[in-house]
Amino acid sequence: MTAQPTDVILHAFDWPYEMICARAESIAACGYRSVLISPPMKSFKHPCGTPWWQRYQPQDYRVIDNQLGNKESLSVMIDQLGQVGVRVYADVVFNHMANESKWRNDLVYPNRRDLRAYQQDNDYYQRQQLFGNLNEPLFSEKDFVAEFGIRDWKDKWQVQNGRITGGPHDRGLPTLKDSPYVIEQQKAFLLALKALGIQGFRIDAAKHLTLNHIKQVWSEEVVQGMHIFGEIITDGGATKQEYQLFLQPYLAQTPLSAYDFPLFQTLFNALQEHGNLATLVDPYCFGEALSKERAVTFAITHDIPNNQVFRNLIMTEQQEALAYTYLLGRDGGVPLIYSDLNTSGVVNSNGQPRWLNQWNHHAMTGKIEFHNRMHGLAMHTLLAEDEFLVFAREKQGLVVMNKSSSEREFTFATKQNWVDLITGDSFSPVGDGMLTFSVAAQSSRMLCVEA
């Protein structure tokens, strides 16, 4: 499905449903039109809490009951967000089930202990039920592929049939078959969420699913009226092996959208000390970005700070701010803004959790306002240098990025007054119809014509 107008997504990563519900009006006021939540299914929970990755180890699709909430609290949240014009998107995990091998050897899901709990607290679990018969397991041994851990991540067969593990001594996450029965259960889950009011899906670990699996689960019945995008991690664009193995076939054989990892890598490289901002002028034409109709764009995903193997992709605070200026200033893609509750422990220059309150910071909301105002307006480049980039959104907006270590100035002809939506600064042309303004080192401006 093509992205809906002004569809900026807040990735409320690992936020409890009640917290999202309480912040519904603030989320809408910031300009977000969608909220992506962590997987709404049954996963292990504990009175003292559980780590974020527990949400990505499903125990049962038929029940919503996890550390973040249950079906009842999710329904309230969907309704509350709907009242302020914000859609809810759900992260879904279909490649595997929970790794419970440390305390059992069978492949029955949910496990026998959970099945007993369903019977002992029948009233509660009936209220949290999405579909199916809770008197019997959802999956058993016959629904999984043979056990082996992925070793070669450039071997497509291994990636789509092996287990994701934590190392040679970890049995890993049991991988589901793309059998008719498994497909049926996964479709039932998606349709039940759709009936509940969910309006979009993020496909977690989509590179681990075969295209046959993806095409059968995301059928026309499921896709209709929904915004669906897959997470297929690549280390770059069309010239990279990972792109050719996983992302290119997905784009060619499905109508679904995807995380724009090629653009992320282009943007990441451009913002480094020796990078070139001119590479951001039209990365799509070089195979270094997805088409604007199918791209979900980002400056950071939850995997980057929360998995050691990706931490080298964390930008500095200044780089990330510039990245969001570009993503929210350009024409194309659906921007996704990441927020967490300090799951990674990464802090900012003030010693505060890095992504805790960035979602509603005035600079971010100004950038979102620019995106929403400029949506659909053509862009054209005015100046492109290694460390300085200026592009316009028709005659209504101007984006200026300065990654250098010195203040820069820019002058252009205009008869109108302008306001920088990031800082609130106003600018007016002088008598000769020229307007000059400065841009501080490693910062940006997003100017709109004053009403």
Which of 7, 65, 204, 288 is an active site residue? 204
Q: How far apart are CA 317 and CA 362, in angstroms?
A: 15
The pLDDT of 193-222, averaged and rounded, is 97
Q: Which two tokens stand for residue 377?
A: 């307006």
Three-state DSSP string of the chain: CCCCCCCCEEEECCCCHHHHHHCHHHHHHCCCCEEEECCCCECCCCCCCCCHHHHHCCCECCECEECCEEHHHHHHHHHHHHHCCCEEEEEECCCECCCCCCCCCCCCECCHHHHHHHHHCHHHHHHCECCCCCCCCCECHHHECCCCECCCCCCHHHHHHCECCCCCCCCCCCEECCCHHHHHHHHHHHHHHHHHCCCEEEECCHHHCCHHHHHHHCCHHHHCCCEEEECCCCCCCCCCHHHHHHHHHHHHHCCCEEECHHHHHHHHHHHCCCCCHHHHCCHHHHCCCCCCCCEEECCCCCHHHHCHHHHHHCCCHHHHHHHHHHHHHCCCCEEEEEECCCCCCCECCCCCECCCCHHHCHHHHHHHHHHHHHCCCCEEEEEECCCEEEEEECCCEEEEEECCCCCEEEEEECCCCEEECCCCCEECCCCCCEEEEEECCCEEEEEEECC
Q: How far apart are CA 206 and CA 140, in angstroms?
A: 23
State pLDDT tens for residues 9-32.
Answer: 999 999 999 999 999 999 999 999
Q: In this model, does residue 352 exceed pLDDT 70?
A: yes
State pLDDT tens for residues 81-129.
Answer: 999 999 999 999 999 999 999 999 999 999 999 999 999 999 999 999 9
pLDDT of 267: 98
The pLDDT of 408-413, averaged and rounded, is 97
18 is catalytic: no
pLDDT of 432: 85
pLDDT of 2: 44
Its CATH architecture, for the domain 9-377, is Alpha-Beta Barrel (3.20)
pLDDT of 188: 98
Q: In this model, does residue 4 exceed pLDDT 70?
A: no
pLDDT of 167: 87
Q: How far apart are CA 260 and CA 230, in angstroms?
A: 10
The candidate with the shortest Cα–Cα distance to 206, out of 303, 292, 111, 131, is 303
Q: CA quadruple 354, 355, 357, 360: dihedral positive or negative?
A: positive
Listed range (10-14, 155-159, 164-168, 296-300) with the worst mean pLDDT: 164-168
pLDDT of 299: 98
432 is catalytic: no
Q: What is the dihedral of CA 306, 275, 296, 315, to 10 degrees?
A: 20
Which of 7, 60, 65, 231 is an active site residue? 231
Proportion of the chain above pLDDT 70, given as a percent? 99
Q: In this model, does residue 1 exceed pLDDT 60?
A: no
Q: In this model, does residue 177 exceed pLDDT 90?
A: yes
CA-to-CA dists, residue 326 to 12, 202, 236, 237, 299, angstroms: 21, 23, 18, 18, 10
pLDDT of 451: 79
Is CATH 3.40.50.20 what the domain over 380-449 is classified as, yes or no? no
Global pTM value: 0.96
The pLDDT of 315-323, averaged and rounded, is 98
Q: How confident is the model at residue 6 (pLDDT cuts 50, 70, 90)?
A: low
Q: What are the structural domain ranges in the chain? A: 9-377, 380-449
State pLDDT tens for residues 232-259.
Answer: 999 999 999 999 999 999 999 999 999 9
